[in-house]
Protein backbone atom coordinates (compact mmCIF):
# COMPACT_ATOMS: atom_id res chain seq x y z
CA UNK A 1 0.00 0.00 0.00
CA UNK A 2 1.40 3.43 -0.91
CA UNK A 3 1.59 6.37 1.48
CA UNK A 4 1.72 10.11 0.77
CA UNK A 5 4.03 12.49 2.59
CA UNK A 6 1.96 15.64 3.09
CA UNK A 7 4.45 17.76 5.06
CA UNK A 8 7.64 17.23 7.04
CA UNK A 9 5.54 15.86 9.90
CA UNK A 10 2.38 14.46 8.32
CA UNK A 11 1.77 11.37 6.19
CA UNK A 12 -1.45 10.11 4.67
CA UNK A 13 -2.04 6.33 4.64
CA UNK A 14 -4.81 5.84 2.11
CA UNK A 15 -6.15 2.29 2.07
CA UNK A 16 -7.71 2.48 -1.39
CA UNK A 17 -10.56 0.04 -1.96
CA UNK A 18 -10.58 0.22 -5.75
CA UNK A 19 -13.13 -2.52 -6.33
CA UNK A 20 -15.59 -2.03 -3.47
CA UNK A 21 -19.01 -1.52 -4.99
CA UNK A 22 -21.39 -1.45 -2.00
CA UNK A 23 -21.31 0.18 1.42
CA UNK A 24 -23.55 -0.80 4.34
CA UNK A 25 -25.06 -3.42 2.01
CA UNK A 26 -27.03 -0.49 0.57
CA UNK A 27 -25.02 2.35 -0.93
CA UNK A 28 -23.53 1.88 -4.42
CA UNK A 29 -19.87 2.88 -4.78
CA UNK A 30 -19.41 3.41 -8.53
CA UNK A 31 -15.95 4.89 -7.97
CA UNK A 32 -14.77 2.65 -5.10
CA UNK A 33 -13.57 4.37 -1.92
CA UNK A 34 -10.63 4.81 0.40
CA UNK A 35 -10.12 4.78 4.17
CA UNK A 36 -7.48 7.39 4.93
CA UNK A 37 -5.46 7.37 8.12
CA UNK A 38 -2.92 10.05 9.00
CA UNK A 39 0.39 9.74 10.81
CA UNK A 40 1.84 12.78 12.57
CA UNK A 41 5.37 12.89 13.90
CA UNK A 42 5.82 15.50 16.61
CA UNK A 43 9.15 16.22 18.25
CA UNK A 44 8.06 14.26 21.34
CA UNK A 45 4.98 12.19 20.49
CA UNK A 46 3.60 10.46 17.43
CA UNK A 47 -0.03 9.80 16.60
CA UNK A 48 -2.16 7.94 14.13
CA UNK A 49 -5.48 9.54 13.25
CA UNK A 50 -8.13 6.93 12.40
CA UNK A 51 -7.27 3.62 10.73
CA UNK A 52 -8.79 1.51 7.95
CA UNK A 53 -11.47 -1.01 7.12
CA UNK A 54 -10.55 -4.58 8.18
CA UNK A 55 -10.92 -5.67 4.55
CA UNK A 56 -7.64 -3.88 3.78
CA UNK A 57 -5.90 -4.68 7.04
CA UNK A 58 -2.88 -6.47 5.60
CA UNK A 59 -1.72 -3.65 3.33
CA UNK A 60 -2.46 -1.05 5.96
CA UNK A 61 -0.36 -2.79 8.61
CA UNK A 62 2.48 -3.20 6.10
CA UNK A 63 2.41 0.52 5.32
CA UNK A 64 2.38 1.35 9.02
CA UNK A 65 5.43 -0.85 9.54
CA UNK A 66 7.46 1.67 7.55
CA UNK A 67 6.70 4.42 10.07
CA UNK A 68 7.78 4.87 13.71
CA UNK A 69 5.59 3.47 16.52
CA UNK A 70 2.80 5.71 17.77
CA UNK A 71 1.96 6.90 21.27
CA UNK A 72 -1.68 7.70 20.56
CA UNK A 73 -4.38 6.65 18.13
CA UNK A 74 -7.05 9.26 17.63
CA UNK A 75 -10.42 7.78 16.80
CA UNK A 76 -12.47 10.58 15.29
CA UNK A 77 -15.32 8.19 14.53
CA UNK A 78 -16.16 4.73 15.87
CA UNK A 79 -17.60 3.21 12.69
CA UNK A 80 -15.72 0.09 11.66
CA UNK A 81 -14.41 1.39 8.34
CA UNK A 82 -12.08 3.60 10.41
CA UNK A 83 -11.87 1.70 13.68
CA UNK A 84 -12.18 -1.97 12.71
CA UNK A 85 -8.50 -2.77 12.99
CA UNK A 86 -7.93 -0.95 16.28
CA UNK A 87 -7.68 -4.29 18.14
CA UNK A 88 -4.79 -5.24 15.80
CA UNK A 89 -3.13 -1.88 16.40
CA UNK A 90 -3.36 -2.38 20.16
CA UNK A 91 -1.40 -5.62 19.71
CA UNK A 92 1.17 -3.87 17.55
CA UNK A 93 1.67 -0.92 19.91
CA UNK A 94 1.54 -2.14 23.52
CA UNK A 95 0.73 0.76 25.85
CA UNK A 96 -0.76 2.93 23.11
CA UNK A 97 -3.71 5.11 24.18
CA UNK A 98 -6.80 5.56 22.03
CA UNK A 99 -8.23 9.09 22.21
CA UNK A 100 -11.94 9.47 21.50
CA UNK A 101 -14.99 11.42 22.61
CA UNK A 102 -16.90 10.27 25.72
CA UNK A 103 -19.69 9.04 23.44
CA UNK A 104 -17.26 7.11 21.24
CA UNK A 105 -15.71 5.18 24.12
CA UNK A 106 -18.61 2.80 24.81
CA UNK A 107 -19.16 2.42 21.08
CA UNK A 108 -15.59 1.23 20.57
CA UNK A 109 -15.94 -1.11 23.52
CA UNK A 110 -19.21 -2.56 22.24
CA UNK A 111 -18.30 -2.76 18.56
CA UNK A 112 -14.74 -4.02 18.88
CA UNK A 113 -14.42 -5.30 22.47
CA UNK A 114 -11.55 -2.89 23.07
CA UNK A 115 -10.48 -2.83 26.74
CA UNK A 116 -11.95 0.29 28.37
CA UNK A 117 -8.67 1.19 30.08
CA UNK A 118 -6.94 1.72 26.72
CA UNK A 119 -9.37 4.48 25.75
CA UNK A 120 -8.85 8.01 27.05
CA UNK A 121 -11.67 10.46 26.42
CA UNK A 122 -11.07 13.99 25.18
CA UNK A 123 -13.35 16.94 25.78
CA UNK A 124 -14.48 19.43 23.19
CA UNK A 125 -11.67 21.95 22.62
CA UNK A 126 -9.10 19.87 24.50
CA UNK A 127 -5.58 19.94 23.09
CA UNK A 128 -2.72 17.47 22.91
CA UNK A 129 0.87 18.60 22.55
CA UNK A 130 3.13 16.41 20.44
CA UNK A 131 6.12 18.59 21.37
CA UNK A 132 6.52 21.06 18.55
CA UNK A 133 2.92 20.80 17.33
CA UNK A 134 -0.51 20.78 18.93
CA UNK A 135 -3.69 18.94 18.12
CA UNK A 136 -7.09 20.38 19.00
CA UNK A 137 -10.14 18.13 19.26
CA UNK A 138 -13.45 19.57 18.16
CA UNK A 139 -16.56 17.58 19.00
CA UNK A 140 -18.82 17.66 15.95
CA UNK A 141 -21.63 15.25 16.70
CA UNK A 142 -23.89 13.81 14.01
CA UNK A 143 -21.52 13.75 11.08
CA UNK A 144 -23.02 11.20 10.89
CA UNK A 145 -23.02 9.34 14.23
CA UNK A 146 -23.55 10.97 17.60
CA UNK A 147 -19.94 10.53 18.76
CA UNK A 148 -18.04 12.15 15.89
CA UNK A 149 -15.25 14.70 16.23
CA UNK A 150 -12.62 16.31 14.01
CA UNK A 151 -8.98 17.02 14.83
CA UNK A 152 -7.13 20.22 13.93
CA UNK A 153 -3.35 20.40 13.63
CA UNK A 154 -2.72 24.03 14.52
CA UNK A 155 0.78 24.61 13.21
CA UNK A 156 0.07 23.01 9.82
CA UNK A 157 -3.55 24.25 9.63
CA UNK A 158 -4.76 20.79 8.65
CA UNK A 159 -8.25 19.66 9.59
CA UNK A 160 -8.63 15.88 9.89
CA UNK A 161 -12.35 15.55 9.34
CA UNK A 162 -12.93 11.78 9.01
CA UNK A 163 -16.32 11.27 7.29
CA UNK A 164 -17.10 15.02 7.25
CA UNK A 165 -16.31 16.39 3.74
CA UNK A 166 -15.45 12.87 2.54
CA UNK A 167 -16.11 11.30 -0.84
CA UNK A 168 -16.30 7.70 -1.93
CA UNK A 169 -13.63 7.94 -4.60
CA UNK A 170 -10.73 5.57 -5.15
CA UNK A 171 -7.72 7.55 -6.32
CA UNK A 172 -3.94 7.49 -6.00
CA UNK A 173 -3.91 11.29 -5.74
CA UNK A 174 -3.27 12.86 -2.36
CA UNK A 175 -5.21 16.00 -3.28
CA UNK A 176 -8.32 16.50 -5.40
CA UNK A 177 -7.20 15.62 -8.94
CA UNK A 178 -10.29 16.99 -10.69
CA UNK A 179 -12.83 19.18 -8.90
CA UNK A 180 -15.65 18.25 -11.30
CA UNK A 181 -15.17 14.56 -10.57
CA UNK A 182 -14.83 15.04 -6.83
CA UNK A 183 -17.81 17.40 -6.68
CA UNK A 184 -20.15 14.60 -7.83
CA UNK A 185 -18.55 12.03 -5.51
CA UNK A 186 -18.66 14.40 -2.53
CA UNK A 187 -22.25 15.41 -3.26
CA UNK A 188 -23.24 11.77 -3.47
CA UNK A 189 -21.52 11.20 -0.14
CA UNK A 190 -23.22 14.22 1.43
CA UNK A 191 -26.62 13.15 0.11
CA UNK A 192 -26.38 9.57 1.31
CA UNK A 193 -24.61 10.08 4.61
CA UNK A 194 -24.83 13.67 5.83
CA UNK A 195 -28.06 15.19 4.51
CA UNK A 196 -30.25 13.85 7.35
CA UNK A 197 -28.06 15.86 9.74
CA UNK A 198 -27.99 19.15 7.83
CA UNK A 199 -29.15 21.04 10.94
CA UNK A 200 -26.05 19.90 12.85
CA UNK A 201 -23.73 20.41 9.89
CA UNK A 202 -24.90 24.00 9.60
CA UNK A 203 -23.61 24.68 13.13
CA UNK A 204 -20.34 22.88 12.45
CA UNK A 205 -19.74 24.94 9.30
CA UNK A 206 -20.26 28.11 11.32
CA UNK A 207 -17.77 26.92 13.92
CA UNK A 208 -15.16 25.96 11.33
CA UNK A 209 -15.39 29.43 9.80
CA UNK A 210 -13.42 30.57 12.85
CA UNK A 211 -10.46 28.31 11.97
CA UNK A 212 -7.65 29.01 9.54
CA UNK A 213 -7.70 25.85 7.40
CA UNK A 214 -5.09 25.25 4.71
CA UNK A 215 -5.98 21.59 4.06
CA UNK A 216 -9.03 19.45 4.81
CA UNK A 217 -7.93 15.85 5.15
CA UNK A 218 -10.96 13.52 5.23
CA UNK A 219 -10.88 9.77 5.76
CA UNK A 220 -12.61 8.96 2.46
CA UNK A 221 -11.42 10.22 -0.92
CA UNK A 222 -8.77 12.81 -1.73
CA UNK A 223 -7.74 15.68 0.54
CA UNK A 224 -8.59 19.29 -0.27
CA UNK A 225 -5.69 21.73 -0.66
CA UNK A 226 -8.27 24.29 -1.77
CA UNK A 227 -10.71 23.96 1.15
CA UNK A 228 -13.01 26.66 -0.22
CA UNK A 229 -14.05 24.20 -2.94
CA UNK A 230 -15.67 21.75 -0.52
CA UNK A 231 -16.69 24.33 2.10
CA UNK A 232 -18.58 26.36 -0.52
CA UNK A 233 -20.22 23.19 -1.86
CA UNK A 234 -21.36 22.21 1.65
CA UNK A 235 -22.73 25.70 2.27
CA UNK A 236 -24.79 25.41 -0.91
CA UNK A 237 -26.07 21.91 -0.08
CA UNK A 238 -26.84 22.70 3.55
CA UNK A 239 -27.86 26.36 3.53
CA UNK A 240 -29.01 26.99 -0.03
CA UNK A 241 -32.64 27.02 -1.12
CA UNK A 242 -33.78 23.97 -3.12
CA UNK A 243 -33.84 24.46 -6.86
CA UNK A 244 -36.67 24.67 -9.38
CA UNK A 245 -36.63 20.90 -9.84
CA UNK A 246 -39.42 18.35 -9.39
CA UNK A 247 -38.09 14.90 -8.62
CA UNK A 248 -40.30 12.01 -9.77
CA UNK A 249 -39.20 8.63 -8.43
CA UNK A 250 -41.66 5.98 -9.56
CA UNK A 251 -42.18 2.30 -10.22
CA UNK A 252 -44.64 0.88 -12.74
CA UNK A 253 -45.86 -2.66 -13.46
CA UNK A 254 -48.01 -2.49 -16.60
CA UNK A 255 -47.42 1.09 -17.69
CA UNK A 256 -50.19 3.11 -16.01
CA UNK A 257 -47.97 4.69 -13.36
CA UNK A 258 -45.22 5.26 -15.93
CA UNK A 259 -47.72 7.03 -18.20
CA UNK A 260 -48.63 9.26 -15.26
CA UNK A 261 -44.96 9.94 -14.46
CA UNK A 262 -44.30 11.14 -18.00
CA UNK A 263 -47.48 13.23 -18.16
CA UNK A 264 -46.56 14.89 -14.88
CA UNK A 265 -43.01 15.54 -16.08
CA UNK A 266 -44.19 16.95 -19.42
CA UNK A 267 -46.70 19.19 -17.69
CA UNK A 268 -44.11 20.44 -15.19
CA UNK A 269 -41.62 21.25 -17.93
CA UNK A 270 -44.33 23.09 -19.90
CA UNK A 271 -44.94 25.21 -16.79
CA UNK A 272 -41.28 26.07 -16.34
CA UNK A 273 -40.24 23.44 -13.76
CA UNK A 274 -37.32 21.11 -14.43
CA UNK A 275 -38.28 17.44 -13.99
CA UNK A 276 -36.12 14.46 -13.09
CA UNK A 277 -37.52 10.93 -13.41
CA UNK A 278 -36.07 7.90 -11.63
CA UNK A 279 -37.34 4.36 -12.15
CA UNK A 280 -37.14 2.85 -8.66
CA UNK A 281 -36.81 -0.65 -10.13
CA UNK A 282 -33.52 0.10 -11.85
CA UNK A 283 -32.01 3.31 -10.48
CA UNK A 284 -28.76 4.03 -8.67
CA UNK A 285 -29.72 5.04 -5.10
CA UNK A 286 -26.84 7.50 -5.05
CA UNK A 287 -28.11 9.35 -8.13
CA UNK A 288 -31.55 9.63 -6.55
CA UNK A 289 -29.98 10.88 -3.30
CA UNK A 290 -27.95 13.51 -5.20
CA UNK A 291 -31.14 14.70 -6.89
CA UNK A 292 -32.83 15.00 -3.49
CA UNK A 293 -30.26 17.58 -2.36
CA UNK A 294 -31.64 20.09 -4.87
CA UNK A 295 -35.25 19.04 -5.43
CA UNK A 296 -37.88 21.69 -4.74
CA UNK A 297 -40.62 19.04 -4.94
CA UNK A 298 -40.77 15.26 -4.78
CA UNK A 299 -43.66 13.35 -6.30
CA UNK A 300 -43.51 9.61 -5.62
CA UNK A 301 -45.32 7.20 -7.94
CA UNK A 302 -46.21 3.56 -7.51
CA UNK A 303 -49.02 1.12 -8.34
CA UNK A 304 -50.87 -0.91 -5.75
CA UNK A 305 -49.81 -4.47 -4.95
CA UNK A 306 -51.95 -6.60 -2.61
CA UNK A 307 -53.85 -3.46 -1.50
CA UNK A 308 -50.68 -1.64 -0.45
CA UNK A 309 -47.99 0.37 -2.23
CA UNK A 310 -45.61 -1.51 -4.52
CA UNK A 311 -42.60 -2.49 -2.37
CA UNK A 312 -40.24 -0.32 -4.44
CA UNK A 313 -42.57 2.58 -3.69
CA UNK A 314 -42.21 1.75 0.01
CA UNK A 315 -38.44 1.64 -0.43
CA UNK A 316 -38.51 5.06 -2.10
CA UNK A 317 -40.66 6.52 0.70
CA UNK A 318 -38.42 5.09 3.43
CA UNK A 319 -35.31 6.40 1.67
CA UNK A 320 -36.79 9.88 1.19
CA UNK A 321 -37.91 9.95 4.81
CA UNK A 322 -34.49 8.83 6.05
CA UNK A 323 -32.52 11.35 3.99
CA UNK A 324 -34.80 14.28 4.96
CA UNK A 325 -34.40 16.43 1.84
CA UNK A 326 -35.35 20.11 2.05
CA UNK A 327 -38.03 19.88 -0.69
CA UNK A 328 -40.95 22.24 -0.20
CA UNK A 329 -43.68 20.01 -1.71
CA UNK A 330 -44.42 16.30 -1.65
CA UNK A 331 -47.14 14.25 -3.29
CA UNK A 332 -48.05 10.77 -4.51
CA UNK A 333 -49.44 9.38 -7.74
CA UNK A 334 -50.19 5.95 -9.14
CA UNK A 335 -52.76 3.41 -10.14
CA UNK A 336 -54.79 0.62 -8.54
CA UNK A 337 -57.62 -1.64 -9.68
CA UNK A 338 -59.90 -3.13 -7.03
CA UNK A 339 -58.80 -1.52 -3.76
CA UNK A 340 -55.86 0.35 -2.23
CA UNK A 341 -54.32 1.71 0.93
CA UNK A 342 -51.25 2.94 -0.92
CA UNK A 343 -51.66 6.67 -0.25
CA UNK A 344 -52.17 6.54 3.55
CA UNK A 345 -49.43 3.92 3.83
CA UNK A 346 -46.92 6.11 1.99
CA UNK A 347 -48.03 9.17 3.97
CA UNK A 348 -47.32 7.30 7.20
CA UNK A 349 -43.77 6.59 5.99
CA UNK A 350 -42.69 10.18 5.27
CA UNK A 351 -43.35 11.88 8.59
CA UNK A 352 -39.81 13.35 8.77
CA UNK A 353 -40.46 15.62 5.81
CA UNK A 354 -41.24 19.26 6.40
CA UNK A 355 -42.62 19.55 2.86
CA UNK A 356 -46.21 20.61 2.25
CA UNK A 357 -48.28 17.61 1.20
CA UNK A 358 -50.21 18.19 -2.03
CA UNK A 359 -53.38 16.29 -3.01
CA UNK A 360 -52.34 12.91 -4.51
CA UNK A 361 -53.49 11.70 -7.92
CA UNK A 362 -54.25 8.03 -7.42
CA UNK A 363 -56.47 6.54 -10.09
CA UNK A 364 -58.31 3.32 -10.99
CA UNK A 365 -56.72 1.36 -13.85
CA UNK A 366 -55.39 2.99 -16.99
CA UNK A 367 -55.43 6.78 -16.51
CA UNK A 368 -58.32 8.56 -18.22
CA UNK A 369 -58.37 12.08 -19.64
CA UNK A 370 -59.59 13.52 -16.33
CA UNK A 371 -56.83 11.70 -14.44
CA UNK A 372 -54.17 13.19 -16.68
CA UNK A 373 -55.75 16.62 -16.21
CA UNK A 374 -55.52 16.11 -12.46
CA UNK A 375 -51.78 15.62 -12.95
CA UNK A 376 -51.69 18.90 -14.88
CA UNK A 377 -53.31 20.62 -11.91
CA UNK A 378 -50.77 19.05 -9.55
CA UNK A 379 -48.01 20.33 -11.85
CA UNK A 380 -49.55 23.81 -11.79
CA UNK A 381 -49.63 23.81 -7.97
CA UNK A 382 -45.96 22.85 -7.91
CA UNK A 383 -45.02 25.45 -10.53
CA UNK A 384 -46.86 28.18 -8.65
CA UNK A 385 -45.27 27.11 -5.36
CA UNK A 386 -41.78 27.15 -6.86
CA UNK A 387 -42.38 30.58 -8.39
CA UNK A 388 -43.73 31.96 -5.12
CA UNK A 389 -40.70 30.65 -3.25
CA UNK A 390 -38.35 32.13 -5.86
CA UNK A 391 -36.78 28.75 -6.68
CA UNK A 392 -34.39 28.91 -9.61
FE1 LIG B 1 -16.58 6.28 7.04
FE2 LIG B 1 -19.17 6.65 9.16
O3 LIG B 1 -17.69 5.83 8.45
The residue extents of the domains of the chain are 4-239, 245-384
H or E, element range at 354: none
Does the CB atom of residue 192 touch ligand 1 within 6 A?
no
Residue nearest to atom 1 of ligand 1 (CA): 163
Query: What integer pLDDT is reported at residue 230 of this predicted model?
Result: 98
Whether 163 lines ligand 1, by a CB cut-off of 6 Å, is yes
Distance CA 69, CA 76 (A): 19
Q: Decide: 82 in ligand 1 pocket, CB within 6 A.
A: yes
Does residue 153 contact residue 10 with C-beta atoms inside 8 Å? yes
Q: How far is the CA of 168 from the centre of ligand 1 (A)?
A: 10
Average confidence score pLDDT of the chain: 97
How many whole angstroms from 275 Cα to the centroid of ligand 1? Answer: 32
pLDDT tens digits, one per residue of 298-313: 999 999 999 999 999 9
pLDDT per position as a tens digit, 24-40: 988 999 999 999 999 99
Q: Does the Cβ of 79 fall within 6 Å of ligand 1?
A: yes
pLDDT of residue 284: 92
- What is the CATH code of the structural domain delimited by 245-384? 3.40.50.360
Distance 34 CA to ligand 1 centre (A): 11
Residue having the nearest C-alpha atom to atom 2 of ligand 1: 79
Bridge-based pairing of strands 27-28 and 22-23 is: antiparallel
Look at residue 360 in the predicted model and tell me its pLDDT.
98
Helix (H, G, I), strand (E, B) or coil at 112: helix
Q: 139 CA to middle of ligand 1, Å?
A: 16
Nearest atom in ligand 1 to the alpha carbon of residue 193 is 2
- State the average pLDDT over residues 203-226: 98
Class of domain 4-239: alpha beta
Pairing of strands 245-250, 274-279: parallel
Q: What is the DSSP letter of 190?
A: I
Summarised one tens digit per residue, pLDDT across range 51-66 is 999 999 999 999 999 9
**Mean per-residue pLDDT, 366-392:** 98
Alpha carbon of 305 to ligand 1 centroid (Å): 36
Amino acid sequence: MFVHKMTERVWQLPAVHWNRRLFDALIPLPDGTSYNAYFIKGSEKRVLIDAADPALEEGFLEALAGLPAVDYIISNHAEQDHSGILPKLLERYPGVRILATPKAKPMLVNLLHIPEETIQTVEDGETLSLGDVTLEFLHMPWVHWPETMVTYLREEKILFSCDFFGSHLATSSLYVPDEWQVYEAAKRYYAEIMMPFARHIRKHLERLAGYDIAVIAPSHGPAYNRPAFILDAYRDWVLGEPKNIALIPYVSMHGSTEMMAHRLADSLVAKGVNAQLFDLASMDIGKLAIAMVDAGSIILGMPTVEAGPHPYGVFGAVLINALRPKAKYFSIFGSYLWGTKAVPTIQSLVTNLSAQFLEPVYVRGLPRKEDLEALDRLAEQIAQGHRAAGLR
